[in-house]
Chains A and B, each alone.
Chain A
Amino acid sequence: MLYKVLDKDPYKDFIKTLISKYEFIGPKKKDRSVHDFVTIKNISELDTNYMRTTIPPAKKLLFPPDEELVTYEIEKKIEVRPMVESSEKILFGISAWDINGMNFLDRVFTTDFIDENYISKRKKLIVIGMDIEPTETNFSMSMGAEYAKDGFDIYLTELKDKYFIRVATARGNKIVEKYAKIRDASSEDFKKYNKFMDNYRKKFKMSADINSFYYDFESIYDNGDFWKRVAKNCYSCGSCNLVCPTCFCFNVKDDIEINLKSGSKSREWDSCMIPEYGLVAGGHNFRPDKENRLKQRYRCKLKTFLDKFGKYACVGCGRCIEACLAKINIAEDINSVKKEVSV
C-alpha cells in the first residue's frame, strides 16, 4: 500500500483523463434518490455524491443477471465454444462495503474451481473506491465492512482541500503516477485522514449485534415459532437477493436458436427465497416453507462463510432492508436472535 495525496484542483483533470483513456464506469444520477453505475463519457455525468444504488456496481459488471457461458453449433458436428469476456474497464466511485462484497465474490468464484467467466472480467477491472455517505439502513460498521483493506487498485478519501489516496496495486500506482499530480502523504495528511475516518464512522446509524450470532443461531435453529414470526410477512419475492452485493446463486440454462442450429448455455441469478430453489426432480422440496428459506438465508449470510472463508457473506449495505416490501430487516433480526437467546 502506498499513501499519496492529490490536491482538489488537479483532481478534475485526473478524472477527465481517465474518462478519455479508459472505458469508465461510474455513478450517474438516475432519479431523485437512486444512482446507477453506467459508462461515463463526460465528467458532467459523473456524480460521486450518491447514497443509493439498487444493483451493486461490482456485481453488475462481474456477475451480470444473465450471462452467456457457452455457445454451440448443433448441426452435423457439435461444436462447443466457451464465451469468456475480458476488456479493461475502470470501476470508479465504488463504496468500501461494495468493494468488500466484491472481495467475497472473488473468493466464491476462485474456490474449489476457478470460474473463468467471472475471474477474467475481474482481472481486467481497475477498481477505484471512494467513501460514500451511508444510508440510514447501512450497518456495515457492525459487519466490519465500512473500510476496505484490499480489493481496490486506488482508493480516494475526500478531505477538505485534497484527496487522501491509498494505492494498493502496481497497476493503480502506474495510473496515479502517469495521470495525477500526486505527492507522498505527510504525517499531517495522515492525521487529517484519521480524523476524517473517525467522523465518517459516526455516520453509520444502524447497528447489528453480530458477535455471538454464530452460536446463538445454533440454539435458536429449531425454534419454529421464532422463525415463523421473523418470516411472517415475507412474500418470497427474492428482492433481497437481487440487490445483495454478495448473493451469487444462479441457475444454468440451455437455450436453442429459432433456426435449431445453434444454442447456448447461460446463467441467470436465482433467489434462495423463492419456493422452487430447493426443488429437485421428482417433486421433493428441501425448503418448502418461507421460514425455512429466510432462516437459511441468514445462515448463509452470517454463519456458513464464517466457517468457509472466515468472513460474513453480508457487508451490511442495507440494500435488502430498503428493497423488502415486507419490511424484513436483517440487522433487527440479528438483534432479535440475540435477545431471544439471552432471555
Chain B
Amino acid sequence: MSLEVNADSKNTIYTPDVARITRIERLSPTEKVFKIVFDDEEIKNKFEFKPGQFVELTVFGLGEAPFSIISNPKNRDFLKLCIRDVGGVSRALHNMEEGEKVGIRGPFGNGYFPYEKMKNQNVLLIAGGLGLAPLMSLIRYILHYREDYKGIMVIYGAVNPESILFKNEIQYWSNRGDISLCLSVDNPDDKWTGEIGICTKLIPRVIFPPDDTYVAVAGPPAMYKYVVYELEKKKYKPENIFLSLERRMECGVGKCNHCHVGNKLVCVDGPVFSLWEIRNLKEAI
C-alpha cells in the first residue's frame, strides 16, 4: 500500500538548505549570474547535478522560483544561476548583495541533457535568448571533456547585441577554435557584423549528418515549433533531439501540478525531454 512509506519529518521536500551568494556578476542590462555556496559542508559535498537540472531558490520572506543551473557539473564547490530581472523573486535577487543568504532545494528534474550518450557524437546546441542559460552547464561539461565529443556547434539568437549573454565565454569559445559558433541578433546595431534575424534560419547550414548528431535546444516557448520543423527537415532523429521546456513551477517535486503537460510533469519528468517523448503530447511545444 502506498501509505507504507518512510517520511522524514526533519527534512521535508519543501525545506530549503541555507546557502550564501558569494559572487554576483552582471551579464547584460537584465541578467546577472549568482554564484552560490551551501553553508553546510555536508550538504555542499553531497550536492551533485546533471546538465539541464534546476533548483528552487528561496529569497527568505519573499518567495521561491525555479532556475536552471549554469555551472559545470564537475565543479562541486558551488553552483551558478543566471537570472533575468522579471519581477518577484528575480527582482529581489537582483537587489541582493554578495554575502547574503538564500535557500536552495534541489537539484530537480529526472530529464536532463544526455551528456553520456552524446559522447563520440556531434553536438548541436540551439539557444534563443535566456535559453542559453540552461545549455551552459552542458556546454561547459562538453568542453571540459572536449576530446570525447565530435563536432560541436552553438547556434545562439539574441534580440540585440547588448542582450547577448556570456560574452566573455563566447569570446573564449571562438578563441578555442574547436567549437563552431553562429550568432544572430534580431535588431543589430552599427557595429554588428554577425547574422541578422531569428536563429532558426541558421539550422539549414548545419553540416552534421543525422546519424551521429545530438541536438540540445532551449529558448522561449514560441521558438520550439520552428526549431523542430527545421531539425526534422534535416532528418535529425527525434530521439536524439532534446528540448528544455519551461512551465510555471511552484514545488519542483511533482506535487503542485502547475508544470503538467498531459501525463508529463516538467519538473520531475523533465525539464529536458527528447522530441520523441513529447512529439504527440498536445500543448508541449
Q: How far is B221's CA from A294's CA once the two chains are assembled, in angstroms? A: 21
Which residues B162-187 have CB closer than 8 A to chain A? Answer: none
Contacts of B17 in A (CB 8 A): 80
- A251 adjacent to B60 (CB under 8 Å): no
- A150 adjacent to B1 (CB under 8 Å): yes
- A116 adjacent to B13 (CB under 8 Å): yes
Interface string of B38-74 (1 = CB under 8 A from A): 0000000000000000000011111111000000000
Tell me if A's interface is mostly helix, strand, loop or mixed.
Answer: mixed
Q: Which among B16, B87, B222 is the interface contact of A80 at CB below 8 angstroms?
A: B16
User: Which one of B17, B59, B250 has the greatest number of beta carbons of chain A within 10 Å?
Assistant: B250
- A70 adjacent to B61 (CB under 8 Å): no
Contacts of A82 in B (CB 8 A): 9-12, 14-15
Q: Which among A70, A72, A278 is the interface contact of B248 at CB below 8 angstroms?
A: A278
Q: Which among A256, A281, A304 is the interface contact of B263 at CB below 8 angstroms?
A: A304
Distance in Å from the Cβ of A284 to the closest Cβ of chain B?
6
Contacts of A232 in B (CB 8 A): none
- A80 adjacent to B247 (CB under 8 Å): no
Contacts of B7 in A (CB 8 A): 84, 114, 116, 119-120, 123
Q: How far is B12's CA from A279's CA once the two chains are assembled, in angstroms? A: 27
Interface size on A, residues (CB 8 A): 60
Contacts of A267 in B (CB 8 A): 14, 250-251, 256
- A123 adjacent to B3 (CB under 8 Å): yes
- A286 adjacent to B14 (CB under 8 Å): no
Q: How far is B64's CA from A263's CA once the two chains are assembled, in angstroms? A: 13
Q: How far is B64's CA from A326's CA once the two chains are assembled, in angstroms? A: 35
Distance in Å from the Cβ of B186 to the closest Cβ of chain A?
16
Contacts of A117 in B (CB 8 A): 12, 14
Distance in Å from the Cβ of B90 to the closest Cβ of chain A?
6
Contact A282:B63 (CB < 8 A) given known A78-B18, A248-B255, A254-B58 = no
Contact A284:B220 (CB < 8 A) given known A82-B11, A107-B2, A112-B268 = yes
Contact A250:B18 (CB < 8 A) given known A78-B101, A116-B9 = no
Distance in Å from the Cβ of A329 to the closest Cβ of chain B?
23
Contacts of A226 in B (CB 8 A): none
Q: Does B146 contact A (CB under 8 A)?
A: no
Which residues A247-304 have CB closer than 8 A to chain B? Answer: 248-256, 260, 263, 265, 267, 270, 272, 277-284, 286-287, 296, 299-300, 303-304
Which residues B129-147 have CB closer than 8 A to chain A? Answer: none
Distance in Å from the Cβ of A84 to the closest Cβ of chain B?
4
Q: Does B195 contact A (CB under 8 A)?
A: no
- B262 adjacent to A252 (CB under 8 Å): no
- A249 adjacent to B247 (CB under 8 Å): no
Contact A286:B263 (CB < 8 A) given known A82-B12, A112-B254, A117-B12 = no
Which residues A303-322 have CB closer than 8 A to chain B? Answer: 303-305, 307-308
- A263 adjacent to B1 (CB under 8 Å): no
What is B's interface to A at a CB cutoff of 8 Å? 1-3, 5-18, 58-65, 84, 86-88, 90, 101, 103, 220-222, 246-248, 250-251, 253-258, 260, 262-263, 265, 268, 282-283
A-B contact pairs, 9 of them (CB 8 A): A69-B14, A113-B268, A115-B253, A116-B8, A119-B3, A254-B63, A279-B248, A286-B247, A307-B263
Q: Which 9 A-B pairs have the closest CB atoms?
A: A256-B61, A263-B61, A307-B263, A84-B9, A112-B254, A113-B253, A116-B7, A69-B14, A82-B12
Q: Knowing that A112-B268, A267-B256, A280-B246 touch, tell me 4 more A-B residue pairs with CB under 8 angstroms.
A: A82-B10, A112-B253, A115-B255, A283-B86
